[in-house]
């Protein structure tokens, strides 16, 4: 007859020790009747595990609190930026500067779509200046050699439109160093034009310049290959000989643009212009000469015009300045567009090869 394993003390002790350990692993307390079965080594390991779990739990809670803090800080920062942006964009200078004043708008540098003196910026400034309740008059302070006839035409049209909407507010153009070509195109939309005696004024003309590299290509030994759909698509190509018919056609474009310019000058200046055949030849004159020719109404600066003509020396600058947030958004959009373009080209090029 086989011996019962419970009769062997060693086997019974081993079984009780294993059972107690399994109970602890399962999250249960060992049986009270077997206290001697708990292993000291297992108890230390279990305490170490409990300590590690507790430490991880504390660290997790701490990390979660810091995460919430930084998220709140980020949102606070973004809302603060938004508040500054809205304040700078929608609060006109008239809100800050109380009392009657003269609105000043800067037209500085080349007039072009990609330049600071583009039509969008100048027109936004004009609308803010004319709509301000406390602005008595508007001064365009011009220091520009000209630029795009399209951008100048936009500004010219808007000045005349705003003058018609606000007949009580006169518009003055004050030329500082230079007000030529497209800049003068803008100036003639004003009620009156003033300049310094040494200012450069005029240049009522249109120009288009390019280079010809035909002989250079022959000397270098480079062959120009141009494929077009449309017989005149490559006209005025600087790497091909200039054709007389291309030159004649382009001259008609320049003449048309020049005629539009002259028409605006005559409309703006009227009978104040002297009958001089050199007026519309593209020449530029000093302020003193321009006054004799009727291109301007007098000699003066922004301050003197405000003080002596408008009789209000308080000046408020309404020139629209894109906020840092606007510039950041523009840069981000350009960066995103560049990345998308590069990714699309990287995917499309292999498929086309």
Portion of the chain with pLDDT greater than 90, in percent: 47
Contacts of 134 (CB under 8 A, 6+ apart): 94, 97, 98, 99, 100, 101
Q: For residue 337, what pLDDT is reported?
A: 56
The yes-or-no verdict on residue 349 having pLDDT over 50 is no
Q: What is the pLDDT of residue 127?
A: 96
Q: Does residue 91 register a pLDDT over 60?
A: no
Per-residue pLDDT at 168: 94
> In sequence order, what are the residues at sequence separation of 6 or more whose Cβ sits closer than 8 angstroms to the Cβ of residue 206?
149, 254, 257, 258, 261, 282
| pLDDT of amino acid 13 | 53
Higher per-residue pLDDT: 211 or 292: 292
C-alpha separations of 239 from 211, 256, 302 in Å: 9, 27, 48
Q: Which distant-in-sequence residues (6+ apart) come within 8 Å of 238 by Cβ? A: 210, 211, 212, 213
Please give the structure tokens belonging to residue 58: 């504390």
Q: What are phi and psi of 306, to 5 degrees?
A: -65, -40
Average pLDDT on 126-144 reads 95
User: 3-class DSSP state for residue 178?
Assistant: strand
| pLDDT surpassing 60 at residue 291 | yes
Instruction: Report pLDDT for 93.
Output: 52
**pLDDT tens digits, 144-178:** 999 999 999 999 999 999 999 999 999 999 999 99
pLDDT at 22: 47
pLDDT at 27: 47
The pLDDT tens digits for 187-218 are 999 999 999 999 999 999 888 877 777 777 77
Q: Tell me the percentage of the chain whose pLDDT exceeds 70.
A: 74
pLDDT of the residue at 231 = 79
Mean pLDDT of 4-19: 52
């Amino acid at each position: 007859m086989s011996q019962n394993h419970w009769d062997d003390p060693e086997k019974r002790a081993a079984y009780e020790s294993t059972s107690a350990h399994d109970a602890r692993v399962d999250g249960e307390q060992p049986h009270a009747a077997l206290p001697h079965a708990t292993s000291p080594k297992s108890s230390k390991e279990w305490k170490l595990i409990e300590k590690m779990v507790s430490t991880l739990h504390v660290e997790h809670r701490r990390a979660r609190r810091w995460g919430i803090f930084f998220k709140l800080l980020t949102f606070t920062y973004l809302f603060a930026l938004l508040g500054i942006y809205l304040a700078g964009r929608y609060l006109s200078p008239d809100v800050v500067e109380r009392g009657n004043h003269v609105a000043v708008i800067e037209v500085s540098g080349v007039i072009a779509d990609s330049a600071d003196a583009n039509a969008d910026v100048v027109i936004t400034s004009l609308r803010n200046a004319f709509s301000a309740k406390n602005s008595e008059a508007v001064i365009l302070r011009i220091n520009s050699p000209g630029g795009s006839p399209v951008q100048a035409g936009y500004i010219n049209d808007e000045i005349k439109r705003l003058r018609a909407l606000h007949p009580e507010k006169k518009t003055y153009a004050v030329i500082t160093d230079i007000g030529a070509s497209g800049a003068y195109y803008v100036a003639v939309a004003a009620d009156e034009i003033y300049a310094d005696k040494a200012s450069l004024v005029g240049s009522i003309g249109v120009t288009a310049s390019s280079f010809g590299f035909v002989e250079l290509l022959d000397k270098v030994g480079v062959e120009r290959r141009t494929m077009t759909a449309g017989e005149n698509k490559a006209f005025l190509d600087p790497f091909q000989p200039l054709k007389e018919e291309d030159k004649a056609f382009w001259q008609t474009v320049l003449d048309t643009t020049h005629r539009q310019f002259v028409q605006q000058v005559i409309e703006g200046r009227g009978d104040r212009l002297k009958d001089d055949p050199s007026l519309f030849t593209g020449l530029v004159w000093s302020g003193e000469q321009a006054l004799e020719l009727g291109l301007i109404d007098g000699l003066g600066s922004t301050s003197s015009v405000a003080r002596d003509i408008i009789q209000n020396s308080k000046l408020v600058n309404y020139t629209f300045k894109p906020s840092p947030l606007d510039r950041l958004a523009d840069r981000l959009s350009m960066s995103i567009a560049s990345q998308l373009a590069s990714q699309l080209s990287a995917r499309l090029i292999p498929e086309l090869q």
